[in-house]
Structure 1
Amino acid sequence: MEDKSYKEYLEHITTFIFDVDGVLTDGTITVTTSGEMLRTMNIKDGFALKTAIDAGFHICIISGGSNEGVRVRLNGLGIKDVYLGTHDKIEKLHEYLEKNNINIENVLYMGDDIPDYPVMSLAGLPCCPQDAVPEIKAISKYVSHKKGGKGAVRDVIEQVLKVQGKWNSNFSAKYD
């Protein structure tokens, strides 16, 4: 689904909201003998998240998973709004939007599976990784060419920041 119409939404995005498993990770969980569940995140996705924060965007994570290692990683990138163990994503979404005075039409939400469906149905720009389930692909205005945990987050952030002129300008001050 390479529908060009999604691009008209990019200039109005102020807020990125992401699920974790299947979006920031590839959905694989490695279980150790002690029962700890390990996830792998893409460093390029992390760079894009940090870049978006530095450019003044709101970033929020809403996940049904409750791995505290995920919180540590995301907090380390500067993401303060990390909601783990969330079973009612719509309630958490409305709470976050109200707290930060954000309009839903300015939200890009990326999810990959059925628990994301209700929230994605509300978001201004629902997106998903290339390997999302068919029901999520069907309601997404943009399906990334990247898989979850393999650069899908970087893909959408970079597109928004480039359209808004905040991708390269963000680096020139730091690296010149």
Structure 2
Amino acid sequence: MASYVLLEQARHIEALVLDVDGILSDGFVTLTNSGDEIKSFDIRDGLGMKLVQKAGIKVIIITGRKSNIVEKRMSDLGVDLIFQGREDKGVALTEACAQFGIDPSDCLYMGDDWPDLSAFAIAGMKVTVPNGHLEVRRRADLVTQAMGGRGAVREICDMLLVSKGVYQELLEKYASAPY
């Protein structure tokens, strides 16, 4: 689990802002012979995103690519805002914050490559994955144990829930007997 300093920093987070490729997915673009794109998501990340929303944290997606797959999955999860086709991630983060009346310093931004650095420059917390680009890892407050698309987002969601003091309460709802 994260250090006391990181948990204290995370306690003030109001929005979890995520890149898609390399964070919510493994970063690979798989194309079929007919040109259709295939993308996989870790189901644990999805539950984590729903849990942080229950804790009052907004979930925002900012991705440089456009994909119907992303639109469908994020819509199914009920994320608060989706920006697709945005290479200007710092500008997109500023726009997202304005929509919710929050400051970028109250956001945790999770990205893995150079296009994410403009958002890193203004976000209050910066997180990446072990295979994130070296320059992104250098600027991150935290590098997850899990890889992108393989539970890294859930790892951060759990940290946020612990920092907000609601992890155990939410866990008990799942762990208690149904009667």
TM over 0.5: yes
| 2:20 aligned partner, one-letter code | V
Checking the alignment, whether the CA contact within 8 Å between 1:17 and 1:109 is kept in structure 2 is yes
Contact 1:105 1:124 in 2 (8 A): yes
How far off is 1:168 after superposition?
2.4
SS, match of residue 26 in structure 1: coil
When residues 151 and 29 of structure 1 are mapped into structure 2, their CA distance, relative to the original with a 3 A threshold, is: same
Once the two structures are superposed, what CA deviation does each residue of 1:31-87 show, in whole Å capped at 9, x if it has no partner? 011111111110100110111112221010000011111111111011130111112
Alignment of 1:13 onto 2:29: no
| 1:161 equivalent in structure 2 | 161
User: If the length of structure 2 is used for normalisation, what is the TM-score?
Assistant: 0.91
Provide the aligned C-alpha RMSD in A. 1.6
Q: Is the 8 A contact 2:7 2:162 kept in 1?
A: no
Aligned-partner residue type, residue 165 of structure 1: G
Deviation at 1:8, TM superposition (A): 2.7
**What is the correspondence of 1:79-118 to structure 2 with a 5 Å cutoff?**
79-118=79-118
1:56-135 alignment, distance < 5 Å = 56-135=56-135
Between 1:86-95 and 1:102-111, the stretch displaced more is: 86-95
- Give the TM-score normalised by the residue count of structure 1: 0.93
Identity of aligned residues (%): 30
Distance (whole Å) between structure 2 residues aligned to residue 98 and residue 85 of structure 1: 19
Alignment map for 1:3-42 (pairs within 5 Å): 5-42=5-42
Cα distance in 2, alignment partners of residues 169 and 56 from structure 1: 14
Provide structure 1 residue ranges, at least 5 long, that are not aligned to the other structure: none
Contact kept? 1:53, 1:78, Cα under 8 Å:
no
In the alignment, the residues of structure 2 paired with residue 166 and residue 70 of structure 1 have an alpha-carbon distance, to the nearest angstrom, of: 28
Kept in 2: contact 1:113–1:132 (CA 8 A): yes
Is residue 23–residue 148 contact of structure 1 (8 Å, CA) maintained in 2? Answer: yes
- Give structure 2 stretches of 5+ with no counterpart: none
Distance 1:105 1:75 in 2: 26
